[in-house]
A and B are shown apart, each in its own frame.
Chain A
């Protein structure tokens, strides 16, 4: 249907001790999935070409950049969570990459070791390392884990046998003593990164990194605001793709490309160009992150003619809604500013977490959506249980609402399609 392909780099993969034969099959499957999900969309913005190319080069071009950085002695750190203070990595000249964890393909590798009844994202991520089928996992100096959920926290102990894994403790309450703990963790993280980089982070380094990350967040905020325009100038699938790429692209280049896309979207709004059409039902998604290449819900919703206009999720607004205060000077004050920014993240691992309930309703209003689909991965207990409170808030505000609990497998697609279409009938009239 198209000549799109995710470029093969067998030599590079071999040098990273990957299972080349198996990985090449996965590459073809993902390429096919991407072409089917994305390239058939009508009226895509021209500036999406850059992001399509980021997918085409996902297993080569970007990996080469990481290896080049490593060759210069710059640290490359893999992460799984929006709590990792990326500014510190950047300040040390390093690179932060979100690791693979959104595919059913690597789940069987994990299930050889881990229990079956745990989060699919944790299993998928673990499986990518266990099966040696993720070049990023193979390229990182170490993985920085955190304690946001039981599954991750205990898996780090086992993952550490395959790749060095360091864990930062994320508090689960927001009392002053918890914030103090978090502040210490941020400082320890800095020490760790400096150790790997072999150099100290200066005030100027950190101030510059804060500017870079804020610039990236502002670009994503700008894109999100443009998506809120009715009719929407870009599909939700494309919006999600950019939020996913945000976790592995080079920040400055990414910021520039997102801003270029936003310029184009502003022109499209003036020209009244709507994707997929002016009458499409507008849906907001809330809940657990959709890691690349998890496009399951977006494919279903947009396949039924609606458009997704906002993702309240870690791969979504939770990643970019808060900025770090740029007006502070001095290392101590900057580290405190970082702590202050990261403590605003309203992950469901916190209790109480009233801020998130308010935030979901706020994003619904801001986005001009007509209904909310709350999505939770199976066995994600905190998001699954917080669903009760999100549902109650939606009922109280008369917001049409549907909850979907799913994993990466295609076995529930038929039932989900019926549920999604029935929800769109309910919302669209």
Chain B
């Protein structure tokens, strides 16, 4: 049994791989001590090897993990498992967004990652949802129903929030503002994809891939490619780490 654990900026994800299939998975909030959360999650298992990924990977290695890989490699392995023919991957997590190019063996050939700010990330969506008093689930669903009437111009979370507030105070319905927020994230992702280039199939992983509006709008932005989302997009990195553990153990 092999364990992959992804200590992300917002949540800790775990995947349990028995060599042939995904036995179990779990997602919990990172909290103040992500490695303690992770240790609790692991305690029910007696794995052959544990591979950690995500922001807390080195912390995990200090405490319990046998080895570490970056989330870029982990997502690449996870996606190659689901879609072996896929050569382009978009991963949008809590704190960063990445576009990763893979070769036909699923190996990373190049990648782009957002710089130091929260623009175009899950955290950006979360803050905007909060400022419009939506839950994350409502946020994507409501935006999907809305028309594109207004535009958010700023990619900076702080400035975009001011834009949202000024729109609210102009009486614009909040679902239209929600739509604009989603459009700004999708524009940024489409820009990163255009810069790196992409293949016929683009896979979408990370927690934000559960947002139906982002998926629909990104699909629209890429008419010449097929956008695919794995069944459990948020545990793609943890699964990749578990698969890596099985390979190297």
Contacts and interface: CB of A to CB of B under 8 A. Distances in A.
Partners in one complex: yes
A405 B114 CA distance: 11
A418 B116 contact: no
Interface of A: 400-402, 405, 411-412, 414-415, 418-419, 421-422, 425-426
Contact of B110 (A411, A418, A426): A426
A93 to B, nearest CB: 47
B96 A415 contact: yes
Interface stretch (B69-77, B198-206, B211-219): B69-77
Contacts of A411: 116
Given A401-B110, A422-B108, A426-B110, A415 B70 contact: no
A415 B115 CA distance: 7
Contacts of B110: 400-402, 426
Contact of B70 (A401, A402, A418): A418
Contacts of A414: 55
Given A425-B72, A425-B73, A418 B108 contact: no
B70 A421 contact: yes
A126 B240 CA distance: 48
Nearest to B113: A419
A415 B116 contact: yes
Contacts of A421: 70
A425 B96 contact: no
Contacts of B72: 418, 422, 425
Interface string B68-112: 011111000000000000000000000010000000000111110
A425 B108 CA distance: 8
A422 B111 contact: yes
Nearest to B73: A425
A377 to B, nearest CB: 13
A400 B101 CA distance: 12
Q: Which of B70, B107, B110, B111 is packed against the most chain A CB atoms within 10 Å?
A: B70
Interface of B: 55, 69-73, 96, 107-111, 113-116
Contacts of B116: 411-412, 415
Contacts of B107: 426
B70 A422 contact: yes
B113 A426 contact: no
Given A415-B115, A418-B72, 12 more contacts: A401-B110, A402-B110, A405-B115, A412-B116, A414-B55, A415-B96, A415-B113, A418-B113, A421-B70, A425-B72, A425-B108, A426-B107
A419 B110 CA distance: 11
21 contacts: A405-B115, A411-B116, A415-B96, A415-B114, A415-B116, A418-B55, A418-B70, A418-B72, A419-B113, A422-B71, A422-B72, A422-B108, A422-B111, A422-B113, A425-B69, A425-B72, A425-B108, A426-B107, A426-B109, A426-B110, A426-B111
Nearest to A418: B70
Contacts of A405: 115
Residue of A405, A411, A412, A426 ringed by the most chain B CB atoms within 10 A: A426
A170 B226 CA distance: 52
A265 to B, nearest CB: 32
A422 B96 contact: no
Contacts of B115: 405, 412, 415
Nearest to A401: B110
Nearest to A394: B110
B175 to A, nearest CB: 32
B55 A422 contact: no
9 A-B pairs with the lowest CB-CB distances in the bound complex, closest first: A412-B116, A422-B72, A422-B70, A426-B108, A421-B70, A425-B73, A419-B113, A418-B70, A415-B116
Nearest to A412: B116
A419 B55 CA distance: 11
Contacts of A425: 69-70, 72-73, 108
A418 B71 contact: yes
A422 B91 CA distance: 14
A411 B71 CA distance: 20
B128 to A, nearest CB: 21
Contacts of A400: 110
A302 to B, nearest CB: 15
A415 B117 CA distance: 10
A421 B54 CA distance: 12
A17 B63 CA distance: 51
A8 to B, nearest CB: 35
Contacts of A418: 55, 70-72, 96, 113
Interface centre among B107, B110, B114 (most CB of A within 10 A): B110
A415 B116 CA distance: 7
Contact of B73 (A402, A415, A422): A422
Contacts of B109: 426
A192 to B, nearest CB: 42
A412 B96 CA distance: 12
A401 B196 CA distance: 12
A405 B115 CA distance: 8
A370 to B, nearest CB: 14
A377 B110 CA distance: 22
A415 B107 CA distance: 21
A418 B70 CA distance: 6
B199 to A, nearest CB: 16
A376 to B, nearest CB: 12
